[in-house]
């Protein structure tokens, strides 16, 4: 039997058997990054690779631009072109006319027929509404200048009257122009169409008639113009060096000139010696009488004849250039407009040779 060790021996043996204690160091556990972080880094890596690929130099094959050029079409003969045209006009295989089938042509024709029918109906409707809303007898909106203008005859190549009394060729055109302007004023025409008015100094108002009823007009006879009528002297004084001119006030629908007083006409020298104009004679008077107003428009005032004032230069000086201005004078009449020389006046040049 082996001897039982004592307590002291047991402790010494335990000390001998135990290995020396080693210093234990703390170990750090490495954790792998999350899946999302790896995915994000992977995307960034792919983007960097793409950017690098973009900056890579081009290869020789990439610089060959000839392959992108359009290749020329093969030349076709005249016979082939004719066949293509015939096929385009009528394709017997597909039953198409000019590239479209019968159904396609029917639809497109129906579309354009509907479109133009709608446009025509819309235009007709607009025109009907316009004609329905306006009156044929008087303007709905009158934007004309109320102060009237004035015109003259003869009016050939501007307002210049230059002639020699001894040369028929130089003044014949002026006499012919006077004849044309005075034809509507022939006595026989005025007796047949218009009435003789006696209410001097008053307007010839006819507002009590129906809107579509024709208005009557007062007579203005050619014979009233005396020596400027062309009845006594068919040359209107041009052959004698004493020419006549005709002055007429422009028509304005519904206008009442002068506010109850006649409009007066005067003529004066604008450029040249004032005494060279000599004596002036006015026929039948130097005024536009009120009985010829208002004017109701050509639809209702069918036979209306505008009154005329004839001016005769009885003693004008020969070979003296004159610029003459004739004015309308009365209430609400403008005859000195700097922008419109025909507003209330007319200016012309006159040179009479022997």
> pTM of the full predicted structure?
0.66
Q: What is the pLDDT of residue 152?
A: 93
User: 3-class secondary structure for the chain?
Assistant: CCCCCCHHHHHHHHHHHCCCCCCCCCCCCCCCCCHHHHHHHHHHHHHHHHHHHHCCCCCCCCCCHHHHCCCCCCCCCHHHHHHHHHHHHCECCCCEECCECHHHHHHHHHHHHHHHHHHHHHHHHHHHHHHHHCCCCCCCCCCCCCCCEEEEECCECCEEEEEECCCHHHHHHHHHHHHHHHHHHCHHHHHHHCECCCCCCCCCCCCCCCCCCCCCCECCCHHHHHHHCCCCCCCCCHHHCCCEEEEEECCCECCCHHHHCCEEEEEEEEECCHHHHCCEEEECCCEECHHHCCECCCCCCCCCCCCEEEEEECCCCCCCCEEEEEEEECCCCCCCCCCCCCECEEEEEEEEEC
pLDDT band per the 50, 70, 90 thresholds, residue 329 = very high
179 and 236 share a domain? yes
Q: What is the pLDDT of residues 139-151, one digit of tens each?
A: 777 766 578 889 9
46 located within any domain: no
Q: What is the pLDDT of residue 58?
A: 57
Same-domain pairing of 163 and 247: yes
Stretch 215-244: mean pLDDT: 94
Q: What is the structure's pLDDT at 20?
A: 45
Q: Give yes or no: residues 88 and 235 share one domain.
A: no
Q: What is the pLDDT of residues 173-203, one digit of tens each?
A: 999 999 999 999 999 999 999 999 988 889 9
Asked whether residue 196 is assigned to any structural domain, the reply reads yes
Mean pLDDT for the chain overall: 83
Domain span at residue 229 reads 150-353
**Residue with more model confidence, 75 or 272:** 272
Q: 341 in a domain, yes or no? A: yes
326 in a domain, yes or no?
yes
Is 54 part of a structural domain of the chain?
no
């Amino acid at each position: 039997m082996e001897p039982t060790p004592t307590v002291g021996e047991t402790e010494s043996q335990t000390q001998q058997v135990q290995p020396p204690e080693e210093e234990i160091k703390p170990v750090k556990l490495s954790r792998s990054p999350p899946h999302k972080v790896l995915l994000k880094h992977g995307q960034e890596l792919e983007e960097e690779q793409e950017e690098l690929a973009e900056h890579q130099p081009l290869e020789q094959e990439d610089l060959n631009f000839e392959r992108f050029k359009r290749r020329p079409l093969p030349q076709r003969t005249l016979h082939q072109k004719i066949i293509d045209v015939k096929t385009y006009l009528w394709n017997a295989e597909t039953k198409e006319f000019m590239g479209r089938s019968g159904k396609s042509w029917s639809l497109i024709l129906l579309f354009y027929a509907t479109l133009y029918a709608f446009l025509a109906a819309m235009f007709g409707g607009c025109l009907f509404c316009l004609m329905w809303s306006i009156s044929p007898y008087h303007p709905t909106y009158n934007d004309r200048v109320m102060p009237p203008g004035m015109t003259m005859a003869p009016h050939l190549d501007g307002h210049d009257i230059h002639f020699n009394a001894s040369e028929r060729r130089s003044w014949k055109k002026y006499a012919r122009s006077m004849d044309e302007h005075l034809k509507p004023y022939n006595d026989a025409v005025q007796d047949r169409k218009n009435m003789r008015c006696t209410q001097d100094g008053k307007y010839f108002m006819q507002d009590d008639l129906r809107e579509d009823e024709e208005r009557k007009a007062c007579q203005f006879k050619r014979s009233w113009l005396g020596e400027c009528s062309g009845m006594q002297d068919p040359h209107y004084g041009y052959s004698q060096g004493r020419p006549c001119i005709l002055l007429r006030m422009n028509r304005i629908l519904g206008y009442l000139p002068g506010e109850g007083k006649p409009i007066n006409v005067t003529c004066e020298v604008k450029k040249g010696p004032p005494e060279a104009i000599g004596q002036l004679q006015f026929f039948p008077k130097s005024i536009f009488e009120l009985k010829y107003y208002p004017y109701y428009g050509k639809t209702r005032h069918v036979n209306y004849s505008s009154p005329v004032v004839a001016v005769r230069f009885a003693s004008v000086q020969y070979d003296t250039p004159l610029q003459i201005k004739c004015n309308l004078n009365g209430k609400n009449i403008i005859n000195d407009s700097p922008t419109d020389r025909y507003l209330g006046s007319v200016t012309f040049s006159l040179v009479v040779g022997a």
